[in-house]
Amino acid sequence: MIALPRPSRRQKQGLLALTFVLLMAFPLVGGSQADIDIIANACAYAALALGLNIVVGFAGLLDLGYAAFFAIGAYSYGVLNSFQLQPHWSPFWQPFASLGLVAKLGIGAAATVHFTVSFWLMLPVSAAIAALFGVAFGAPTLRLKGDYLAIVTLGFGEIVPIVARNWPALTNGAAGLNGIGPPKLFGWSFGVDATPYYYVGIALVAFLLLVAWRLKASRIGRAWMAIREDAVAAQAMGIHTSRLKLIAFATGAAFAGVTGAFYIAKLQTATPDMFDLPVSIMVLVMIVLGGLGSVWGAIFGAVALEILQAWLLPALNGTTQALGQAVGSGFLRTLDLTSASELIFGIILVVMMLYRRDGLVPAARSGVTLAFEQQDAPISHGGSNMPILGLSHHLTPLAVAAPLAVAVPAVPAILSVRDLSVGFGGIRALKSLSLDVPEGGIVAVIGPNGSGKSTLFNAITGLVTPQSGRVDFAGRALIGRRPDQILALGVARTFQNIRLFPHLSVIENVLIGQHAHLRAGPFGILCNTPRTRAEERRAREFAAEILAIFGNRLVPRLEQNVSDLSYANRRRVEIARALAARPRLLLLDEPTAGMNPAESHELAGQIAAFRTLGLTILIIEHKLDVVTLLSDRVIVLDQGERLAEGTAAAVRADPAVIAAYIGRRPADV
């Protein structure tokens, strides 16, 4: 790996440890109760921001009803540790009482139940309840387009406080829940002293920070960011997008839920207006200020907004009013700056979006620039002479054993397309198309623009649904499967117009290609188990190995954002990403487009080398010299139909092909 010009891990850890010690010491060295309380509130905000950052920042789902989950978590704790619900006592409650979840109030027939579920138990339970609501609400709505999701969540965020207002039996209505029990630790009650909440708040933020951090660096976090960058490409690279969106939504909801329990325990009261839209927007402002997708940014934003509201505005308010007094301006004297906080929020949103979309503490890596020697290094070609160890040992022994058995009719077709018809409105892009691709072969599809080549690829990979016909791959029907399922069966592709994940690095793009083969689950990721670490290390090694196919073109650029790469290098990364999925069939859509002749031939050589690994390749290509060089067989499409098929030379001589490319005389039509 190359050295990165970033603060060393040790420096970062030192800084973190120092901050931690300062925070721990603050109440001990005489921080005032008011300031301690403010920091405890900032912790609640930071926890909320960390959660919303997962939904909006990582997964790119604009959630404007986030406070609803905050409310659900808060009311869960509030109802289960207060006098709000008082059912009649019956023996049914006895086992709960012995567990300490409820207490008996009064005696005899008048006895009622007092819910006393422990705060510590309710932290995870509130998170789980909120996550459950997140799943229930997200399952039907997350398949909506992004902007619709914003408005649906806005509606949900309205409904929850209204329900809280109008359901007094459960929530005590607009007056709010009162007498919520404070947390107890070994029999000692936290009471109203701010200090214990301060420590719990810091612990909560530290825990959620760790969770967010580990998730971000995991296969799940990468999948979220892939969805945010390009949902179609993410699905084509094996990511079950609706499930991962749901996980993001539920995780964010869980963060809000646990924070709700904490916040309400601290206040010991909960009213519906604590969870209205402005709260959701305020949390959004925090993560926009810090930087969408930036974990530290979320914390920065939360702290900045709390400082603004709790310290800065009141201080400024006093100053302007005093100034108004001094200069005799009635307007300044009565101006209430503290009510201007929302105006400032609005300004922050607009200014950040216009001038600094990455936020003040951006998530993006500091741009890794190459040294001159690296930029000037002679191109090493890699390709055929490179041992691609990772790939070959995942392929079937049969295929590796017979690498050059190509275009022999006896080889069974690994891909067979039968009578495939695809239409868009009135246009029929493919008309009853049939073709076979033999295992281990390289088949080229050529044809004029609009002849249905890319539609064929989209139909094979599940991105469009055909009207009729079959597509079978290795004996399995592909039609009706989702793109991610098709990838998992062993079909990977590239796109004509390059659909990489532009704000992710080269290595991250290639790691996302391996998504379907990585197994780490939420538990393994959160605990960072040795198995997860080993899997992640192997995945990185494999990704680096694949990128080495292209010699030194990509290896020095592993940590660069792909949006910073040259066009040709982006094509290479996309091919590497597809190879990382360990396909048996690789679909390449104009891989050499935008490359000069030398680069095209270099890539053609590398593609030819894939065959020695047992890959079957279907390639769309316009450059006929590349087609001739590579393919065993050429299929010519025109207006959605197969016009000709044969060797490159035979196809080139076919009069029908020439007519399709150069045009027909009117008499022929």
Partner 1 sequence: MSPTHILLQQIVNGLSLGAIYALLALGFTLVYGILELINFAHFSVFVVGAMAGLLVLQAFGLQGQSVILHGAPLVLVLLAALVAAMLACGLLGVLIERYTLRPLRAVTGPMAMITTIGVSYILVNLVLLLTRAQSLNYPDPLPAMTATFGGVTVSGKAVMIWIVAAILMIALDRFVRRTRLGQAMRAVAQDQEAARMMGVDVDRVILVTFFVASALAGAAGMIFGLYYNFADYNIGYTAGLMAFTAAVLGGIGNIPGAMLGGVIIGLIDTLGSQYIAAKWADVIVFSILIGTLVFRPAGLLGALAPNRS
Cβ proximity to partner 1, 333 vs 601, nearer residue? 333
User: Would you count residue 358 as binding partner 1 (CB under 8 A)?
Assistant: no
User: Would you count residue 193 as binding partner 1 (CB under 8 A)?
Assistant: no
Q: What six digits make up the tokens of 121?
A: 């138990």
User: Would you count residue 653 as binding partner 1 (CB under 8 A)?
Assistant: no
User: Would you count residue 175 as binding partner 1 (CB under 8 A)?
Assistant: no
User: Would you count residue 663 as binding partner 1 (CB under 8 A)?
Assistant: no
DSSP annotation of 613? T
User: Would you count residue 346 as binding partner 1 (CB under 8 A)?
Assistant: yes
Distance of CA 127 to the CA centre of its chain: 21
Rounded Cα gap, residues 550 and 528, in angstroms: 32
461 backbone φψ class: left, alpha, beta (φ>0; ψ -120 to 50): alpha
Bridge partner list, 418: 470
User: Would you count residue 162 as binding partner 1 (CB under 8 A)?
Assistant: yes
Rounded Cα gap, residues 46 and 255, in angstroms: 10
User: Would you count residue 163 as binding partner 1 (CB under 8 A)?
Assistant: yes
Query: In this chain, which of 43, 47, 62, 265 binds partner 1, going by CB under 8 A?
Result: 62
Q: What six digits make up the tokens of 298?
A: 């979320």
Cβ proximity to partner 1, 56 vs 211, nearer residue? 56
Which residues lie closer than 8 Å to 626 by C-beta, 6 or more apart? 592, 600, 601, 604
Cβ proximity to partner 1, 148 vs 567, nearer residue? 148
Rounded Cα gap, residues 468 and 456, in angstroms: 13
Give least dist CB 65 to partner 1, A.
10
- Kindly indicate which of the ranges 8-16, 113-121, 341-349, 531-539 contains the residues binding partner 1, using the contact rule CB under 8 A: 341-349
Rounded Cα gap, residues 525 and 645, in angstroms: 50
Radius of gyration of the chain (CA): 30
Cβ proximity to partner 1, 194 vs 456, nearer residue? 456
Q: What six digits make up the tokens of 301?
A: 């934003």
Site for partner 1 in 515-534 (CB under 8 A): none
Query: In this chain, which of 147, 373, 376, 668 binds partner 1, going by CB under 8 A?
Result: 147
- Kindly indicate which of the ranges 91-99, 161-169, 215-223, 265-273 contains the residues binding partner 1, using the contact rule CB under 8 A: 161-169
The answer to whether 334 touches 324, Cβ cutoff 8 Å, is yes
The answer to whether 170 touches 82, Cβ cutoff 8 Å, is no
Rounded Cα gap, residues 326 and 328, in angstroms: 6
User: Would you count residue 156 as binding partner 1 (CB under 8 A)?
Assistant: yes
Query: In this chain, which of 15, 136, 210, 347 binds partner 1, going by CB under 8 A?
Result: 347
The answer to whether 51 touches 259, Cβ cutoff 8 Å, is yes
User: Would you count residue 332 as binding partner 1 (CB under 8 A)?
Assistant: no
Query: In this chain, which of 148, 379, 393, 541 binds partner 1, going by CB under 8 A?
Result: 148
User: Would you count residue 343 as binding partner 1 (CB under 8 A)?
Assistant: yes
The answer to whether 474 touches 414, Cβ cutoff 8 Å, is yes
Bridge partner list, 177: 270
Cβ proximity to partner 1, 56 vs 130, nearer residue? 56
The answer to whether 648 touches 661, Cβ cutoff 8 Å, is no
Count the neighbouring beta carbons within 10 Å of the beta carbon of residue 311: 13
Give least dist CB 140 to partner 1, A.
5
User: Would you count residue 477 as binding partner 1 (CB under 8 A)?
Assistant: no
Site for partner 1 in 231-290 (CB under 8 A): 232, 277, 281, 284, 288
Counting residues that bind partner 1 (by CB under 8 A) gives 43
- Kindly indicate which of the ranges 58-66, 199-207, 322-330, 526-534 contains the residues binding partner 1, using the contact rule CB under 8 A: 58-66
Cβ proximity to partner 1, 163 vs 488, nearer residue? 163
User: Would you count residue 350 as binding partner 1 (CB under 8 A)?
Assistant: yes
Query: In this chain, which of 357, 393, 519, 664 binds partner 1, going by CB under 8 A?
Result: 357
User: Would you count residue 348 as binding partner 1 (CB under 8 A)?
Assistant: yes
Query: φ and ψ at 240, to 5 degrees?
Result: -75, 90
Cβ proximity to partner 1, 24 vs 347, nearer residue? 347
Would you mind telling me the total number of residues written for the chain in this entry?
A: 669
User: Would you count residue 152 as binding partner 1 (CB under 8 A)?
Assistant: yes
Count the neighbouring beta carbons within 10 Å of the beta carbon of residue 301: 31
Residue 471 burial (10 A CB sphere; 0-12, 13-18, 19+):
buried
Residue ranges binding partner 1 (CB under 8 A): 56, 60, 62, 64, 140-141, 144-148, 150-152, 154-156, 158-159, 162-163, 165-166, 228, 232, 277, 281, 284, 288, 335, 339-340, 342-343, 345-350, 353-354, 357
